[in-house]
Every structure is written in structure tokens, then in C-alpha cells.
Chain A
Amino acid sequence: MKQLPFLIMLAALLVAPFVVYPLFLANALCLALFACAFNLLAGYSGLLSFGHSAFLGTAGYITAYTTKSWGYPPELAILLGVAASSLLGALFGFLAIRRQGLYFAMVTLALAQMVYFVCLQAPFTGGENGIQPVPRGHLFGVIDLSPNMTMYYFALGIFLIGYGIIYRTIHSPYGRVLKAISENEPRAVSLGYRVDQYKLLAFVLSAGLSGLAGSTKVLVYQLGSLADVSFGTSGEVLLMVLIGGLGTVMGPVIGAFIVATMVNYLAQYGSWVTVIQGVIFVVCVLIFRRGVAGEAMALARRWRLRAGAVAKP
């Protein structure tokens, strides 16, 4: 019974590509994983990063380069991408967790901007031309990923793996300590927790999973591009998590699908997309801080309370 909604989501995702363009969905799944990874840090550890595009993009470039230039199979290329983004995450985290709150946000933003410039200038990324076409290759040497449907189910598999890792982390003792730190850091320190190590591990985990999303995204559209490391992407993932609900398990997934749909549908309206995203930000911060999932949960609680009140007068 507890797993029912998850099964509903799974069923929806399994049949969705027969109704909707599969590559759009595959991309949305990558973004959803990215948003979940971001949420692990922002929602459960209280560390709001403004530079998560660095992880998505770096892993993407590594995967794109190793498959295209060295002919690596997709599974290995993705692993390398994840390794690279985890390493970068360790570096970022080591520097950034020295500051908290606002400073943390600004430090991640500045470091990500540095990564952006390095990617722009590095010879292997192709500058603003990017890396293309990235071959999707054969998974484990047998499964040809080039049909869009196969690619979609591969992306779904990756998403479920990442989602599972995040779900397990949040509900583990480690996840509870993280939550405790984000709610009251001095208290956690006084209880004897090595707060910095917890935070760093969360950062690396989040970076690695973002990399997993980035590597998969590169295979979906078959290109590694500068847009993935740019600041706009860091802003977009924030928007997804904010819409969906910061610190909720499924919120980021909802948010990612909403934002992906919005970007796809409003694309023809040009810079109005930016304006609309800005408006949503403002609305979310001012009156909708719990996001879609958070509001839904609050609504459900109120219903249950009322139902309970009626049941036992």
C-alpha cells in the first residue's frame, strides 16, 4: 500500500513514451534525477548550491569525449563521468563547506563560473560548438541504444537507480543526521557529530548523482554542450526543486517535469520564458514555499484531520 503511488508513477513512466515523444521524456528524466540530487543537498542538508551545473556539465563532457574520441562503451563512459563529477564535488565541497548559508551559495556560484570558463577554454570541449555527435553505443556491448525507445528505457533505468540511492540515503541513519544538522547545526556538533564530514559526503554524493544525470543527458541528445555547465542550468535546477517542493522526496521529479514541459512549450516565446521563470521564482518564494508536493502533503494532512474529527465526535 505504501508503495502504491510509486508504482503508479512507475507505470506512468513505463507507458509514457508510447504517448509522448520519448526523447523529451528521457531528457526530463535526466533533469528529474539532477533535481533529486540537488534536493539531497539543498532540501535535506540545508546547503543551497548555486553552482550545480558544474557537475552536470563536467560529467557530460567526460562522457561525450570518451565515447566519441576514445570509443568507450556507454556504461564505462557514464562511470567515468560520475567519477569526475564526484571528484569535482569533493573539491568544491572541501572549499564551500567552510562557509554557510549565503556565503556557501556565493562560493558555489563562483566556483561553478570558474568551471564554466575552464570548459569554454579547454581544447577538448570544442568551446561553444560543443562535442557532437556523441555515439550512444551499445550497452555492455550488446544492447544498441540508438533507437529512441531503447534510449528512453535506459534513461528510466538510470533514473530509478539514482532515485533509489537518494531514497535510501534520506531514510538511512546518515540521512537523519544530515537533517538534524540542517535544522540545528550547533546542536549536532554538541552531540558529537563530525558535521563537516557529513556535509562533505552529502556534497560528493549530490555531485556524483548530478554527474550521472549529466552523462545520461549527453547520450540522450548526443551532444555535450556549454549550456550544461552554464549558470542558467544551475538556476533552472533550483527552479525545479522550488516548484516541486524543497525537501520532499518526489517534489523535484514533479518540478523537473513541469520545467521541462514549460521550456519545451514556451520555447517560441523567447525571452518571455525567462520572465515567466522569474515570476515563478518570486511566487514560489513569497506564497508557495512548500512547492507542489509540499502543498499536496499539507492539504492531505488537513483532509485527514478533518476526516478524523468527523469520525470520532
Chain B
Amino acid sequence: MSWLHMLVPSASQLAQMPAQLLIGLINGSFYAMLSLGLAVIFGLLNIVNFSHGAQYMMGAFVAYTLLNVLGVGYWPSLLLVPILVGIVGMLIERIFLRWIYRLDPLYGLLLTFGLTLIIEGLFRQGFNSSGVPYGMPPEFRGGINLGFIFLPYYRAWVIVASIIVCLGVWFLIERTRLGAYLRAATENPALVQAFGINVPRLITLTYGFGVALAAFAGVMAAPMQNVSPLMGSNIIIVVFAVVVIGGMGSILGSIVSGFLLGLVEGLTKVFYPEAASTAIFAIMAIVLLLKPAGLFGKAR
């Protein structure tokens, strides 16, 4: 009968609602940042980047290494790590991905899956699976009491930062000249090439940029979570479901569905925590029944 309390929320559950929604929004910001990166890469390369989770994990580990080996703190890491991991991403694109563009896109999924195994295996070898500590940056210790929740300063920062990043990327792609080239190259690479734009370089940069977004999310997660080689694989499958629900066609769609599903998941955790891990997949099944192309998707 445990599902009954879904229908009849208790007073304490209702009292917790605002706090839980806020928490959901924070988790949703990670889904949003990660599915955004996937959408950017998919848009131009037509590849579902399976190694996105591994690159997110790399972000957290590079931040850890910078802090503990070179003494580079959280703030510089926030900029440095995405650049470093983004460069690794560009190398991956140049060495591996560029050979498979003319093949069925499924090979891209397989290739990036293989790369995920390599990256995760190497990090497990180097750091072990149990994880390493990344302390909370001192300026973020503590929090603010909002009445309905004690909101750690860091979580507040996560929401703000992710919204800025998401909107920034949206603006970059939908409202700037560079974004226009990108969108054009997605539609008709040959034509854009004819206009004198170096499409292969554009592709490399785009992949690097998508990977950098994942790494940025990784740095953001490091102070909150156990930094372990498995942190990427735990989240990437959920993000895939988010992407199926939202459809990868639009940048805004992937951002909105990321936040939305964070909220839904947050509610599940209060009313029916047993389903917290399966709720998103169940929603995916329902969306597939009602609107197979996804909430914001174009059929392609």
C-alpha cells in the first residue's frame, strides 16, 4: 500500500515541499548542463557522446589534481579545468572521432562508449574506485537560512552559475554570428565550407566546447560529491533519459527538460523515495507513448 501516500501527502511532506523543489532545481541544473553539452555535440557531429559522463568525471579529478598537486584553488579551476579537458576532447575528436563521420551514427555511440571504458579504467587504476576528497572552498562554507531551508551558499552558487552558463550557451548559439555558422554547418556543411569557413575546425572546436561543458559540471560537482571514477557512469544514463524526454533537437529544450526533470525527481524523493531512481525512466516511457519525438524534439 506504500503508493497510497503519494495520493495523500502528510503535513510534514507538504511543509517540506518548497525546500525539496529547490533541491530538485539544483540537481536539475546538473542534468541541464550535461544534456546541453550532449545537444551541442549532437547538433554538429551527429554523435551521441557516451563519454560525456567520463568527461564530467575527468573535470572533477583534474580539479582535485590541480588543488592537491599544484595548489590551484577552486576559482581558477573553474576556468582552467574546462580548458584542459576541452583540449583533451579536441584531441579525442582529431584522433578518433573524425574517422567515423561518414558512417552510421551508431558507430559514434560505440566508439565513445569504448573511450568511456578506457577513461574510466585508467582513472580507476590511478585513483581507485573509493574516491578522493575535494573540500568545500572556504568562502562557501556555511549557508543562509531562508526559513523553509538552510541553503548552503555553494548550492545557491550552483543554481546561479548553471543558469548563467546555460543561457550563455543558448545566446552564443542562437544569437551570435559564430552560432549562426554552427547552425548552418549543421544543416549544410558543404555550403558553409564553400563560404570559406573551415568546417572541420568548427567541428573540433564544437566537440571541445561540449566536453568543456561536461568538465565544468564536474568541477561544480566536486565540492558536493564524492569524487570517484564512477561518478560519471552513475549520472550519464539518467541524462540520456532526460535527452530522450526533451529531444536533442533544440538547445533550449534540453536545458528546460533538465531543470524540469530535476524538479520531478525532487518531488519523488519526498513522496515516494523508493521510485526516486526509476521515476525519470518511467516518465521517459510515458513520453515515448504520447509524444515519441520527445517534448521539444523534431523527428529526425
Interface residues of A (CB under 8 A from B): 48, 50, 95-96, 98-99, 101-103, 105-107, 109-111, 113-114, 117-118, 121, 231, 235, 238, 242, 270-275, 277-282, 284-286, 289
Contact = CB atoms under 8 A, between A and B. Distances in A.
A106 B117 contact: no
Across the A-B interface, the 7 shortest Cβ-Cβ residue pairs: A281-B114, A278-B117, A274-B121, A278-B118, A275-B121, A114-B281, A271-B124
B115 A282 contact: yes
B121 A103 contact: no
A278 B114 contact: yes
Contact of A279 (B113, B114, B274): B114
Contact of B243 (A95, A98, A106, A118): A106
Given A101-B106, A279-B114, A289-B103, 8 more contacts: A106-B48, A109-B240, A113-B241, A235-B117, A238-B110, A278-B116, A282-B118, A285-B114
A282 B112 CA distance: 8
24 contacts: A48-B106, A96-B288, A101-B105, A102-B109, A109-B240, A111-B285, A113-B238, A113-B281, A114-B282, A118-B278, A238-B110, A242-B110, A272-B121, A272-B125, A274-B117, A277-B114, A277-B117, A278-B116, A278-B119, A281-B110, A281-B114, A282-B96, A282-B115, A286-B96
B244 interface: yes
Contacts of B285: 95, 111
B107 interface: yes
A114 to B, nearest CB: 4
B121 A278 contact: yes
B30 to A, nearest CB: 17
Nearest to B129: A271
A99 B247 CA distance: 11
Contacts of B117: 235, 274-275, 277-278, 281
B122 interface: yes
Given A102-B48, A274-B117, A278-B118, A110 B124 contact: no
Contact of B107 (A95, A98, A110, A285): A285
Contacts of B284: 107, 110-111
Interface in B264-300: 274, 277-278, 280-282, 284-285, 288-289, 292
Contacts of B110: 238, 242, 281, 284-285
B111 A231 contact: no
Contact of A286 (B106, B111, B237): B111
A285 B100 contact: yes
Contacts, number: 118
Contacts of A98: 288-289, 292
Interface in B201-254: 233, 237-238, 240-241, 243-244
B113 A235 contact: yes
Nearest to B105: A102
Interface string B117-133: 11111101100000000
Nearest to B279: A114
Given A95-B288, A274-B117, A110 B244 contact: yes
Q: Is the interface of A mostly helix, strand, loop or mixed?
A: helix
Contact of B244 (A103, A231, A272, A275): A103
Nearest to A98: B292
A256 to B, nearest CB: 18
Nearest to A92: B285
Contact of B106 (A105, A270, A278): A105
A110 B99 contact: no
Contacts of A106: 48, 240-241, 243-244
A110 B121 CA distance: 23
Nearest to A121: B274
A307 to B, nearest CB: 32
Nearest to B46: A102
B237 to A, nearest CB: 5
B119 to A, nearest CB: 8
Contacts of B288: 95-96, 98-99, 107
Given A95-B285, A286-B99, A117 B111 contact: no
B291 to A, nearest CB: 10
Contact of A275 (B103, B118, B233): B118
Given A98-B288, A107-B288, A274 B111 contact: no
B71 to A, nearest CB: 29
B116 A286 contact: no
A224 to B, nearest CB: 20
Contacts of B243: 106
A286 B99 CA distance: 7
Contacts of A242: 110
